[in-house]
């Protein structure tokens, strides 16, 4: 049995992949590279250039430093296989988390360059990856040009939501976000004083905790409402 046939049998058990067009399924399987990662080894680091889409087939990952792991009850465990890393397909920015393997883990990696070439040939495929990310965010993903028209508070909330929820159930770490990661996104487009003012507002609303160079997201549900600008006025 070839790897491609074996991988397909795993992937068809995952709802998102099973619903993709056959041509896109074939393209992802054909480009995927298997990676076996030993315990504690880093898959990618905060600040690394975008390196594509990942699928966790076996094992588990830790996001962030050990000291950043939540002390509260863990979130629901992700059901395998599990896709992650698609945020960089939309913002093109460096990775915002360290990701390490817990135990022996097996991943498939679809390279970033291949995906960009694929979208150039089949732009209609991008919507399937937007749907994947939307499931994790709990909101339909807006196009960059649409995001740029939102009020300042909603734009910042969108960026915070992408950074804190973009890895979905894999992210059990404290939701700590550097200012640089917020500012780097072109759709935020705010000078530091204006950004600080928006963050202070979210801090006063007890949605985030504002530090000197970082924020910690406390209330994802209310942050999601702020990001949805049609409901933002209802957030007290």
137-174 pLDDT, tens digit each: 999 988 888 888 889 999 999 999 999 999 988 876 67
Note whether 16 and 126 are same-domain residues.
yes
Higher pLDDT, 199 or 142: 199
Whether the pLDDT of residue 73 is over 70: the answer is: no
The pLDDT of residue 198 is 95
Closest CA to 97 of 110, 88, 108: 88
Total structural domains within the chain: 2
Joined tokens for residue 22: 């056959």
Q: Domain residues for 188?
A: 144-234
Among 16-30, 120-134, 139-153, the minimum mean pLDDT is found in: 139-153
Q: Where are the alpha helices (DSSP H) in the chain?
A: 3-11, 15-18, 22-31, 87-91, 112-121, 126-137, 144-147, 152-165, 179-183, 192-204, 220-227
What is the reported pTM? 0.87
Whether the pLDDT of residue 202 is over 90: the answer is: yes
Q: Which of 96, 113, 137 is the last residue of a domain?
A: 137
Q: What is the mean pLDDT of residues 37-48?
A: 93
Higher pLDDT, 49 or 234: 49
Note whether 127 and 148 are same-domain residues.
no
Note whether 119 and 174 are same-domain residues.
no
Phi-psi region of 130 (alpha: psi -120 to 50; beta: other; left: phi over 0): alpha
The pLDDT of residue 74 is 53
The pLDDT of residue 142 is 85
Phi-psi region of 59 (alpha: psi -120 to 50; beta: other; left: phi over 0): left
Note whether 106 and 78 are same-domain residues.
yes
The pLDDT of residue 233 is 44
Q: What is the CATH number of the domain that holds 96?
A: 2.60.120.10
Whether the pLDDT of residue 209 is over 50: the answer is: yes
């Amino acid at each position: 049995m070839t790897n491609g046939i074996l991988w397909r049998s795993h992937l068809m058990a995952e709802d998102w992949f099973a619903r993709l067009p056959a041509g896109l399924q074939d393209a992802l399987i054909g480009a995927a590279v298997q990676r076996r990662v030993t315990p504690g080894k880093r898959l990618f680091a905060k600040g690394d250039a975008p390196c594509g889409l990942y699928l966790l087939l076996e094992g588990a990952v830790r996001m962030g430093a050990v000291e950043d792991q939540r002390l509260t009850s863990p979130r629901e465990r992700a059901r395998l296989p599990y896709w992650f890393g698609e945020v960089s397909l939309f913002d093109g920015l460096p990775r915002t988390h360290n990701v390490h393997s817990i135990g022996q883990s097996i991943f498939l990696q679809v390279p970033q360059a291949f995906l960009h070439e694929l979208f150039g040939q089949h732009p209609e495929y991008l919507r399937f990856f937007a749907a994947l990310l939307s499931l994790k965010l709990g909101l339909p993903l807006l196009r960059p040009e649409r995001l740029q028209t939102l009020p300042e508070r909603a734009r910042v909330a969108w960026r915070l939501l992408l950074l804190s929820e973009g890895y979905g159930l894999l992210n059990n770490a404290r939701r700590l976000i550097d200012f640089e990661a917020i500012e780097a996104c072109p759709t935020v487009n705010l000078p530091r004083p204006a950004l600080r003012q928006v963050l202070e507002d979210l801090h006063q609303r007890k949605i985030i905790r504002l530090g000197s160079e970082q924020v910690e997201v406390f209330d994802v549900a209310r942050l999601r409402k702020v990001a949805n600008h049609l409901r933002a006025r209802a957030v007290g």
